[in-house]
A = this chain, B = another copy of it.
């Protein structure tokens, strides 16, 4: 598809998102905080309303019509996710609260796989959610907490990784796409390295799922996780995929209803996958509505989404660089639509405040990646992040408002 056709095609999307059709402080809203959370298409909102108006019931154990209907819809999303991720088995898909929940679960159930002196690896650019749980696990097990350094360009120092990741590495956990910089990391290579070292490989796909097609088979990682709310889906829902043989072997995480086969005062036996890892009433509404987000992404096509967002990124980056004393972080080719920058001697929070007054929603601060900013010699940035529904006009409004803000602050 040439760019004009693509732009034309994508232009229609915005009308599907009611939150984008509003003004703030009397100005049209330009929502560029998509890496924090995406807006939701009307079909997702409608699905939630429909669920509560027609199907609401607690799932799995019901003996009645509504319970069966909601169970069926709930399980349909699991099947759709198995297809989306190219999982071998649908029971490899585990629902929970979010990416943070997934990493905490993994760092707990992998506990007994780590021994004193082993190494647990992350990278210097990880989101705190994929950093602190591993740091704490290392502390607890007296293992070495190690990280792949980030180069000033925002890329991994893969040479370092090649030299240093040996068979003492038990777990290697990393993000596919950096939420702070938007860099797309060479995960295939790191997975290969980590697997040949015999480590468990955890891929944080939170910032990737809205932009790339995913095939957990060809990736050959052990675990892959993301949050629905960053993929045009509802809040409060995480998806964890894990290799069946591992999920079967590893211990349970949360104990309670549904994950139990038999409870007695003398002992308890656990249920099969996926129920083993889904105790308690799940976020039924979110799971069911998320199926609409999955269809939405499939219909629009992630290839189109990424191409369009990349076009916006390039356009915005060029315009941004015209501003004096501007630092654009990670201005490299391999990126999604995340633009992270600072203007010399101006605090990112000040820019954020003045952009906000002009209807432009961006995020400022450390974006939960403090080690990354320490490496880059600052404490944070202004981050504008694009989604499939953003337009070239959004970019224009953003750049104009940014110029005005910078002038006011100088």
A interface residues (Cβ-Cβ under 8 A, vs B): 18-19, 22, 24-25, 29, 31, 33, 36-37, 39-40, 44-45, 48-49, 52-58, 61-67, 96-101, 103-104, 107, 124, 127-129, 131-133, 135-136, 145, 147, 227, 229, 234-237, 253-258, 260, 262-265, 267-268, 279-286, 349, 352-353, 355-356, 359-365, 368, 370-371, 374
Find out whether the CB atom of B64 lies under 8 angstroms from the CB atom of A361.
Answer: yes
A-B contact pairs, 14 of them (CB 8 A): A18-B53, A19-B66, A40-B52, A61-B368, A64-B362, A96-B97, A97-B236, A99-B280, A104-B256, A124-B265, A128-B256, A129-B256, A236-B285, A236-B286
Complex-state Cα separation, A12 to B19, whole angstroms: 33
Find out whether the CB atom of A280 lies under 8 angstroms from the CB atom of B53.
Answer: no
Name the distance in Å between A80's Cβ and chain B's nearest Cβ.
Answer: 19
Closest to A260 in B: B128
Find out whether the CB atom of A352 lies under 8 angstroms from the CB atom of B229.
Answer: no
Find out whether the CB atom of A56 lies under 8 angstroms from the CB atom of B236.
Answer: no
Given known contacts A45-B49, A61-B365, A361-B65, A254 and B104 CB-to-CB distance under 8 angstroms:
yes
Given known contacts A57-B36, A57-B37, A129-B257, A361 and B283 CB-to-CB distance under 8 angstroms:
no
Closest to A206 in B: B281
Find out whether the CB atom of A280 lies under 8 angstroms from the CB atom of B58.
Answer: no
Q: Which residues of B contact A227 (CB under 8 A)?
A: 280-281
Name the distance in Å between A386's Cβ and chain B's nearest Cβ.
Answer: 15
Q: Which residues of B contact A257 (CB under 8 A)?
A: 100, 127-129, 368
Complex-state Cα separation, A53 to B267, whole angstroms: 48
Find out whether the CB atom of A65 lies under 8 angstroms from the CB atom of B356.
Answer: yes
Find out whether the CB atom of B56 lies under 8 angstroms from the CB atom of A254.
Answer: no
Given known contacts A49-B48, A67-B361, A101 and B254 CB-to-CB distance under 8 angstroms:
yes
Closest to A130 in B: B256
Q: Which residues of B contact A133 (CB under 8 A)?
A: 254-256
Inter-chain pairs besides A22-B54, A64-B352, 11 sampled, C-beta below 8 Å: A33-B57, A37-B57, A49-B49, A62-B361, A97-B236, A101-B280, A104-B254, A127-B256, A229-B281, A235-B284, A235-B286
